[in-house]
Chain A
């Protein structure tokens, strides 16, 4: 399993991950935009062969991000609000949705209650449409990181299918970082 993080870690203890995807602009980039137009402009400047994630701070940006071919993953943040149609569209357009743990760690109690409720609904819709999703720490610093087992346990408590999440993460990563990978079901063995 892979973890998707927003900083370059140094001196990390073994947390049980195969590897980390770091959104630092070198091999993966995280885009933030306030509206759909800004997002489109930012996406135009991006070259190929880089994993593109969008931090959707409002529903409009989330919807636009999912409809763009260049976007691989919709990153998680406290402000993100996914609606039914967006998750359905993500399944059709094969855009992966990230479910992150860090927003739950950062938020206070009243915020957390709302986030738990939203997570439960999101997972229900994700399971309904079989939308590709990954579970990760979504950490912005070392203190927000957790072990693979802790992250998986948390999301499975809310009804996530962890095996599916692992597969989706591997698919996203292999698309860019595995030379032998061609497409789902096709890869160079020798």
Chain B
């Protein structure tokens, strides 16, 4: 809904992560796989509530946005990501922050 006062707006969390994979993967593939895993583990309602969005992805490192309420579920779904397009992956969460800029500066620049 547009025009919500700040107190009613949903809070977001941004998760910095990197992916170790046998091949080069792109962001869309990860987003799709993550959404599928989230729906498999917690159902479509939890997936809709979590509002997963891939904010940034480059060189197997990325930032994932989600609702603060669903942070633990998204992290578990990311943990359960074992393969993408038949290739094995090792998702590694680096850290989480309240905004993209800080998340990028704090976690992705040091990698």
Contact = CB atoms under 8 A, between A and B. Distances in A.
B90 A109 contact: no
Contacts, number: 41
Given A15-B92, A143-B90, A157-B72, A150 B79 contact: yes
A32 to B, nearest CB: 24
A101 B73 CA distance: 15
Contacts of B80: 104-105
A185 interface: no
For chain B, give the interface size range: 10 to 19
Contacts of B91: 146, 150
A149 B20 contact: no
Interface in B63-111: 72-73, 75-76, 78-80, 82, 88-93
25 contacts: A13-B20, A101-B79, A104-B80, A105-B80, A105-B82, A142-B90, A143-B82, A143-B89, A146-B91, A146-B92, A147-B93, A149-B75, A150-B75, A150-B76, A150-B79, A150-B91, A151-B79, A153-B72, A153-B75, A153-B76, A153-B79, A154-B79, A157-B72, A157-B73, A157-B76
